[in-house]
Structure 1
């Protein structure tokens, strides 16, 4: 990054696109460290999604003690089971905790800073995991999960913005997608740990699965003194000297102090970095459009079936008669890891918009196919295999597109003046969408309720088409632009489909 000044106008300039190897050279040691550190704040969220739903379909292994402790005994079958209503509560109510976390995150990040929000994430995780480990009732266990999900609400509000504010524009997509990579890696680890503890018939089995979640907040606390505060947040607080010091640590060593001061001067003259705005600003002027963009991608990330596949895929496989449902789930999670790694390397080349549109179309197709197979009263083995393949391929292309991309868009679409408030609105709507899907799935696929089976694909496919269409009309391409450039592009009302190649009005000093 450099600062260019011509005839009284200045701009932080840099390449809009670079080949992969040259792009990787733009990483400094501090940017690389911050990317890793901020990404692992999402690890526990991904991990927590893994162990619990397994208990609903795998009573014969390590989670049998979990079911006996929190489930109901059926005298006719002489077995314990988690009833559908309790499964629905235990998997959906944590999203209410996430919603509370969202509303706590905005004032913390806005007034106290991004670093203090990381401390909040750490301590909330510790308390939530402790409540789960010591739970003797389903209520206590669910409250523990709600606290862990509250941590996630804080994470999703703050981390995309924190990452976007620290990363060079050319690396912003690659950096922010690491949140999703940590989530899906954690899901795979959770599945593997469940498998490794499968010989345990005592409470130790599920307690080990839950207790693993102490590791990441411990690591966050240990490394906390090494992280830097967001330069843009410091500027918004009028702490210019501290902002310069923070920026110095993020930039390459060969960047002169004069260049750092010039960049700080340019950033401080951007309206987005001059103080914090009110709630009224979130829905005023160009911010109304920006709020709508973040809402589209964050709601679309959840309401198109994410909770169905991530939480209930193994349940779905079991209900289709597959005896190797756990192994199928492991394969699916491994495909997800591969998908996000692929996206990491192409997001700053292909851009956000193309990936979202392509992924939306492909995932909808697989869901329509799954729905069609579900209409067959007595499907053959081949037809059941097609349904399973559709779920896995949906998951792969979802992890390639609609899983990581919304975090990238969330981090860059909002004005810095109201980024915490805008993200709060978008993530809150996302949480409500996830709650709706998570709460309704057991009733949609449960044999004692709607019993839709594969036909549930029609519901999520239709929603996928809707949000892909909204993306086409409203979500612009923002790759390679500085956050300050994006501010002026939105202020100048650049049309959605002209964002990619638009000339940007320079900043007047």
Structure 2
């Protein structure tokens, strides 16, 4: 029985020992793939509130005497890039399955360079939007290949922690971009927005430079009938302290787990063996986006300006991102508590927005509530959805399941991002902060959904997760159910094979 089953959580020291130099390297390297994802989202949230950007692509508002982006253009610039993300996710599933995880990372980096070039040199709204669409194709690659690679390479007792780093780096990217925006907001030229965009050249260059040092996924190599390369890759990942016997046992376990599995068809994603796993993955990624994160991550700066915090809007965005980074470093990233508090903080902001002339103290409370909402998102739905996605998909249809779940997540993000300007601003719905009633209610609904339909898989190897789903037990019973660790399973299978051979030998005599 695994440690996760016995309920014996590893101490911080024991976890630290599992971080070999290579595991530490790939943890930060793969998370870095998501940096530009966060930098672009967080950067544009502030850029669209800058006067030089609005002067370049927007229109003059006679009532407020400022340059603004009209709601339709804000929707287009914010939402249409998610079509690029969708295309990237679809393409990445095929690339990662056929040519490997490293090839997907290489293409991810090249796409980012192209998208940033188009945005930085933009002279029209159309060119800037196309640049964002291309750059978001990179994020599509990111959300597919990074959780898969991390889940396949991480030791089982570190998998949840390592998978959650993708959200930490996304938020860290948003924080860095908000700091850059804070520093350039008063520049009265196009440099104010071109500089934040142009800084996105740095990360893909680093990724391409370090790519030769990254080992390929052992599980992918075994699926391609390359056990020798898989053994070398696993040796690099587990470090010098791992014995040759332990490496060989793990390789045998992976070989037995993937024997005759091949790659499944799209029909198998929904068959009786996989439909629950597919549903869990979809629920996790759908919940990540439908619970209102687009409100705070993409429109918060403009929202603060509209509520009287013209001079403090960029600072509030910085503070919210800093608090969120701290949140992702906390040791209790859970969906139930985090999801409930997300709903509560959105309701507080919505209730304050119903007051005709709120006091400064009330407005400050609203800002604090939205900041705490962002923090709770970053300890719950933000990171855990990627962990669940990496753990729940069957090895046989992993790429296809991840692709489907990510596509649904992207379409959900597109819908929320496109509709928010119309929900927030006049002359349309003009809900303002009252939009918190909508997304707060959704948060509460997903607390119930999580309780019944998203299982606890912490401390399990991917092969043990396979066993749990194969048992057909209730998802809520996963935590206390015993399974056989893959290493023991491999030994048992070898013993059974040896017994069969011995019996045949006796019969032969």
TM-score over 0.5 for the pair: yes
Among 379, 394, 397, the residue aligned to 2:358: 379
Measured after TM superposition, the shift of residue 12 of structure 1 is: 13
Q: Give the distance between the partners of 1:325 and 1:11, measured in 2 at CA.
A: 47
The aligned residue for residue 500 of structure 2 is none
Instruction: Name 2:314's counterpart in structure 1.
Output: 326
Alpha-carbon separation, structure 2, partners of 1:14 and 1:137: 60
Kindly provide the CA deviation profile for residues 75-107 of structure 1, in whole angstroms up to 9, marking residues without a partner as x.
676643211110010000011110111110110
Superposition TM-score, scaled by structure 2 size: 0.92
Residue 11 of structure 1: how far off its partner (Å): 13
**How is 1:176-325 mapped onto 2 (pairs within 5 angstroms)?**
176-271=163-258, 274-323=261-310, 324-325=312-313
Query: Which of the residues 392, 396, 401 maps onto 1:413?
Result: 392
Residue matched to 2:127: 140
Q: Counterparts of 1:376 and 1:220 in 2: how far apart (Å)? A: 49
Instruction: For structure 1, list consecutive stretches of 5 or more residues without a partner in the other structure.
Output: 5-9, 348-354
Match of 2:11 in 1: 19
Cα distance in structure 2, aligned partners of 1:376 and 1:29: 55
How far apart are 1:478 and its partner, in Å? 0.4
Shift of 1:346: 4.2
User: Partners in 2 of 1:185 and 1:12 — Cα distance?
Assistant: 30
* Structure 2 unmatched runs, 5+: 494-509
Q: 1:263 to 1:273 in 2, by over 3 A?
A: farther
Picking from 98, 107, 116, the partner of 1:111 is 98
Question: Quick one: distance in 1 between partners of 2:232 and 2:439?
Answer: 48
Among residues 463, 476, 488, which one is paired with 1:484 in the alignment?
463
Q: 1:242 to 1:202 in 2, by over 3 A?
A: same
Partner of 2:31: 39
Task: Tell me: CA distance 1:170–1:77, structure 2 relative to 1, closer, same or farther (3 Å).
Answer: closer
For residues 419-460 of structure 1, give each alpha carbon's deviation from its aligned partner in whole angstroms, at most 9, with x where no partner exists.
110011111111111111111111111122111112100100
CA contact (8 A) 2:47 2:181 kept: no
* Aligned twin of 2:412: 433
Cα deviations by residue, 1:158-195 (Å, 9 ceiling, x for unpaired): 11010010000100111111111111111111111112
Distance 1:103 1:149, change over 3 A: same
How big is the shift at 1:120?
A: 0.8
Cα distance in 1 for partners of 2:381, 2:304 equals 23
Report how far residue 285 of structure 1 moved. 2.1
Match of 1:171 in 2: 158
Cα contact 1:31–1:167 (8 A) shared by 2: yes
Distance 1:11 1:178, change over 3 A: closer
CA distance in 2, matches of 1:104, 1:205: 34
List per-residue Cα deviations over 1:208-256 (Å, max 9, x = no partner): 1111000000000110100000000111111111111111111131322
Indicate the residue corresponding to 2:502 in structure 1.
none
How many equivalent pairs are there?
A: 487
Q: Is 2:445 the partner of 1:445?
A: no
**C-alpha distance in 2 between matches for 1:383 and 1:214:** 41
* Greater displacement, 301-310 / 48-57: 48-57
1:100 aligned to 2:79?
no
Instruction: Return the offset for 1:272.
Output: 7.8
- Asked if the contact 1:291–1:422 (Cα under 8 Å) also holds between the matched residues in 2, the reply is yes
For residues 18 and 268 of structure 1, what CA distance do their matches in structure 2 show? 27
1:396 corresponds, among 371, 375, 381, to 375
Give the deviation of 1:276 after TM superposition: 1.3
1:467 corresponding residue in structure 2: 446
Aligned-partner Cα distance in 1 for 2:4–2:99 = 27
- Aligned runs of 1:343-354 on 2, under 5 Å? 345-346=331-332
Number of the residue aligned with 2:147: 160
Distance 1:496 1:364, change over 3 A: same
3-state DSSP class of the match of 1:403? helix
Question: What secondary structure is seen at the aligned counterpart in 1 of 2:382?
Answer: coil
Q: TM-score, normalised by structure 1?
A: 0.92
Tell me, in whole angstroms, the C-alpha distance in 1 between the residues paired with 2:8 and 2:227.
27
**What is the rounded CA distance, in whole Å, between the counterparts of 1:13 and 1:273 in structure 2?**
28
Change (3 A) 1:191 1:376: same
Q: Is the 8 A contact 1:267 1:273 kept in 2?
A: no
Which is greater in Rg? 2
Query: Could you say which residue in structure 1 is the equivalent of 2:504?
Result: none
Change (3 A) 1:219 1:13: farther
